[in-house]
């Protein structure tokens, strides 16, 4: 076990190795304090956009959630902090009015349970800040190197599966830094925090730099600590159990001070907490937390936040007091001030007045009694939005794309909606759960890595010309302690992505057990196959659909190829040959190769009605000469391309 002095030496050495230079943002931060920049807001409002210095536009105003957006010249976006996604009715009304009156009636709901206004003029921002402050709402520290909005279960304190209500604790954690100039812009990089006292992971808990999740030890409930989550990485256990609020607060104080003091300030692509943990080790950092806080925290208990959540599939969920939280599906999080005012009215008229945002960019109307459900669904809010949509919309995420985000590579939000509409029409599902998460770029604000299907914006090429594309991943999980998905298809043109995804949904529909989610289907069926073979199956069936070729071929549950790609290729080829010609290609086999040398005709030479590309592909899969057989599925792509 490391002693305190040794732990600090280890941290200092790691810091010094990465301190030969500082990144350009650190140089900007040295120009002034955020407080000095914010003091000029009224002046900027009066003088206009052109009076704002470049460093304030690029950095300092973002410390207060004010973002200059090149996509809408001389107009701003404000990212509004909504702790744990919870709004009371008065707050919802004010935010709805602000969007309607100053922001072209536009709102984005984000994956951090908060909202964003757009199309704002600098002259109106001081007024907006005052109106938000009057109802206890802030946009402070929602950008750049600050503590971002803390996530929580959106049904915290009310849902039957929430064991430890955590919103009050969240507010105590937030009080340490929020609007406290000692903590504004002092971190090396953004710092994401989550907390949940629930059995279901409704808040992407394990995707955070620091998260406190429900745990049990020796019969008592508390929180296990996880650290180091970010895009592409799931947070790992720090092997620390926190038995009460006081211990959570002590641990959090130690963590943020350690990251502030020892976090890297050179390469911004490698300076999240994850990279410090990578260099000093989780055990060493956990020891530093104990020493820094002066608390001998116990080792981790059993993590209880393990389940998926199904509320959006049913449209409502019963709460502890017998009332319901009614879900409102907001495709791609595209909302409006008018819609938020409608939601506030619906909640005050038929519920308890509360509104909760979730990480899937939708919301809940809280406290609706059974007798009020019918009247609620007759409210004008539900003329535009649904309580239950198709399985392709119920769990959909899409961050801002090229229309609003300077980093966006694809439009994204409309792409996600188009995909879900296409699948709803061509592969309708009566039930099921498919989490489709879209990020417009590699930064991953749409948390695509933990989706059942994840889409990451990129550039693709068709006939040598560049166009919008997506990398497609599968296998992400929110259940257990979370799993990051794996990219199986690279640079698929967005306009062809629905046709390539549809076959996978067809297989899910064909093979799913009653009530089976896509995640469960993945674990039961797809996990028996290599990622390459899944990608091949999607491409192949898309090709067959495009050519109107009817062929009974798909995934099976009795897989014997052992996830060995060459075996899969031969096995698929053999089955395809049999499906087309109704006899075996060879007279006998030893595992995944013919035992006797035989002459093999191209299938279309035997039956001229067989598609020639398909024929040549199959021949390459089961060629008589082993040296001429395909060894990897990507060798077959040219035969079955739909673009």
pLDDT at residue 581, rounded to an integer:
96
Distances, alpha carbon 36 to alpha carbons 15, 55, 56, 181, 190, in Å? 29, 12, 10, 11, 21
Q: Residue 401 falls within a domain, yes or no?
A: yes
Tell me the chain's radius of gyration from C-alpha atoms. Answer: 27
Same domain (yes/no): 340, 294: no
What integer is the mean pLDDT of 352-364?
98
- pLDDT digits over 448-475, tens only? 999 999 999 999 999 999 999 999 999 9
Last residue of a domain, one of 381, 416, 449: 381
How many domains would you assign to the chain?
4
Q: What angle do CA 287, 288, 291 make, to 5 degrees?
A: 90
pLDDT averaged over the chain? 97
Q: What's the CATH number where 450 sits?
A: 3.30.413.10
Q: Are residues 584 and 620 in the same domain?
A: yes
Confidence of residue 8 (pLDDT cuts 50, 70, 90): confident
9 lies in the same domain as 130: no
The length of the chain, given as a count of residues: 643
pLDDT given at position 599: 86
Q: State the pLDDT at residue 199.
A: 98
* Residue 349 within any structural domain of the chain: yes
Assigned domain for 414 exists: yes
The answer on pLDDT for 3 being more than 80 is: no
Residue span of the structural domain in which 71 resides = 31-149+332-381
Judge whether 327 lies within some domain: no
Do 172 and 277 belong together in one domain?
A: yes
Q: Among residues 493, 528, 563, which one ends one of the domains?
A: 528
Same-domain check for residues 264 and 228: yes
Q: What is the mean predicted confidence (pLDDT) over 13-37?
A: 96
Find tokens 């498919």 and name the residue. Answer: 434
d(C-alpha 636, C-alpha 539), whole Å: 10
Q: Please state, in angstroms and rounded to a whole number, the distance separating the CA atoms of residues 25 and 34.
A: 13
Residue 45 lies in a domain: yes
Residues 77-133 have pLDDT tens digits of 999 999 999 999 999 999 999 999 999 999 999 999 999 999 999 999 999 999 999
pTM for this prediction:
0.96
**Is residue 262 pLDDT above 80, yes or no?**
yes
Q: Strand, helix or coil at 255?
A: helix
* Residue 408 and residue 523 share a domain: yes
| Residues 192 and 66 occupy one common structural domain | no
Q: Is 273 exposed, middle or buried (0-12, 13-18, 19+ CB in 10 A)?
A: buried
Provide, rounded to the nearest whole percent, the portion of the chain with pLDDT above 90.
97
Is residue 193 located within the same domain as residue 274? yes
Residue 641 lies in a domain: no
Give the count of alpha carbons within 13 A of 292, CB side only. Answer: 23
Is 168 in the same domain as 297?
yes
40 within domain boundaries: yes
Name the burial class of residue 49, with classes exposed (0-12), middle (13-18) and buried (19+) by CB atoms within 10 angstroms of its CB. middle
Q: How confident is the model at residue 495 (pLDDT cuts 50, 70, 90)?
A: very high
End-to-end CA distance of the chain: 59
| CATH code where residue 363 lies | 3.90.480.20
- What are 182-241's pLDDT values in tens digits? 999 999 999 999 999 999 999 999 999 999 999 999 999 999 999 999 999 999 999 999
88/189 same-domain check: no
Task: Label residue 412 left, alpha or beta by phi (over 0 means left) and psi (-120 to 50 means alpha).
Answer: left
Is the Cβ–Cβ distance between 211 and 235 less than 8 Å?
Answer: yes
Spatial contact of 69 and 191, defined as CB atoms under 8 Å apart: no
Q: Per residue in 150-177, pLDDT tens? A: 999 999 999 999 999 999 999 999 999 9
Bridge pairing between strands 436-439 and 453-462: parallel
Per-residue model confidence as pLDDT tens digits over 374-416? 999 999 999 999 999 999 999 999 999 999 999 999 999 999 9
Give the whole-angstrom CA distance, residue 384 versus residue 417.
15
Q: Where among 324, 346, 381 does a domain terminate?
A: 381
Q: Do 134 and 56 have their domain in common? A: yes
Condensed to tens digits (0 to 9), the pLDDT of residues 288-317 reads 999 999 999 999 999 999 999 999 999 999
pLDDT at position 2 over 70: no
Domain shared by 224 and 244, yes or no: yes
Residue-wise pLDDT for 529-569, tens only, equals: 999 999 999 999 999 999 999 999 999 999 999 999 999 99
563 in a structural domain: yes
């Amino acid at each position: 076990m490391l002693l305190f002095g040794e732990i600090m030496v280890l941290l200092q050495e790691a810091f010094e190795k990465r301190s030969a230079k500082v990144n350009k943002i650190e140089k900007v931060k040295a120009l002034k304090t955020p407080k000095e920049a914010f003091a000029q807001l009224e002046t900027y409002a009066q003088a206009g956009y052109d009076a704002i210095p470049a460093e304030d536009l690029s950095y300092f105003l973002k410390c207060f959630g004010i973002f200059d957006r090149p996509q809408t010249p001389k107009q701003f976006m404000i990212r509004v902090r909504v702790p744990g996604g919870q709004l009371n009715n008065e707050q919802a009304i004010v935010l709805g009015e602000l969007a309607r009156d100053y922001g072209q009636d536009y709102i984005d709901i984000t994956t951090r349970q908060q909202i964003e206004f757009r199309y704002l003029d600098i002259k109106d921002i001081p007024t907006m800040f005052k109106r938000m402050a009057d109802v206890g709402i802030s946009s402070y520290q929602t950008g750049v190197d600050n503590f971002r909005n803390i996530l929580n279960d959106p049904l915290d304190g009310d849902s039957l599966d929430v064991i430890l209500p955590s919103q009050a604790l969240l507010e105590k954690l937030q009080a340490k830094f929020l609007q406290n100039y000692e903590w504004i812009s002092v971190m090396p990089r953004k710092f994401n925090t989550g907390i949940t006292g629930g059995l279901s992971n409704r808040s992407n808990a394990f995707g955070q730099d620091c998260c406190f999740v429900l745990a049990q030890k020796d019969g008592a409930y508390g929180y296990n600590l996880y650290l180091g989550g970010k895009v592409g990485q799931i947070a790992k256990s720090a092997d620390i159990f926190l038995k009460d609020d006081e211990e959570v607060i002590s641990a959090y104080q130690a963590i943020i001070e350690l990251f502030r003091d020892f976090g890297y300030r050179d390469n911004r692509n490698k300076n999240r907490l994850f990279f410090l943990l990578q260099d000093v080790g989780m055990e060493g950092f956990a020891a530093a937390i104990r020493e820094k806080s002066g608390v001998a925290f116990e080792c981790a208990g059993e993590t209880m936040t393990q389940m998926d959540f199904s509320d959006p599939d049913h449209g409502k969920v019963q709460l502890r007091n017998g009332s319901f939280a009614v879900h409102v599906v907001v495709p791609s999080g595209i909302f409006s001030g008018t819609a938020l005012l409608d939601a506030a009215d619906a909640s005050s008229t038929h519920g308890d007045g509360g509104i909760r945002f979730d990480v899937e960019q939708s919301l809940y109307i809280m406290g609706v009694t059974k007798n009020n459900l019918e009247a609620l669904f007759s409210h004008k809010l539900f003329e535009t939005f649904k309580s239950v949509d198709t399985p392709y919309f119920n769990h959909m995420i899409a961050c801002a794309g090229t229309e609003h985000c300077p980093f966006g590579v694809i439009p994204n939000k409309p792409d996600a909606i188009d995909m879900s509409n296409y699948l709803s029409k061509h592969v309708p599902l009566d039930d099921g759960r498919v989490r489709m998460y879209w990020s417009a770029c590699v930064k991953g604000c749409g948390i695509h890595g933990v989706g059942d299907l994840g889409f990451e914006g990129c550039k693709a090429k068709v006939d040598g010309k560049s166009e919008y594309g997506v990398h497609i991943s599968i296998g992400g999980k929110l259940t257990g302690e979370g799993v990051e998905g794996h990219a199986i298809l690279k640079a698929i043109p967005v306009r062809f992505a629905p046709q390539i995804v549809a076959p996978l949904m067809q297989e899910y529909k064909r093979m799913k057990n009653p009530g089976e989610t896509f995640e469960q289907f993945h674990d039961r069926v797809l996990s028996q196959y290599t990622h390459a073979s899944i990608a091949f199956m999607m491409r192949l069936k898309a090709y067959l659909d495009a050519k109107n070729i009817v062929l009974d071929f798909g995934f099976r549950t009795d897989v014997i190829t052992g996830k060995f790609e060459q075996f899969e290729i031969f096995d698929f080829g053999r089955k395809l040959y049999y499906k087309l010609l109704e006899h075996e290609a060879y007279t006998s086999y030893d595992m995944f190769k013919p035992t006797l040398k035989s002459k093999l005709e191209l299938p279309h030479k035997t039956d001229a009605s067989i598609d020639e590309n398909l024929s040549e592909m199959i021949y390459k899969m089961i060629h008589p000469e082993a040296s001429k057989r395909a060894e990897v599925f990507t060798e077959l792509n040219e035969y079955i391309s739909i673009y």
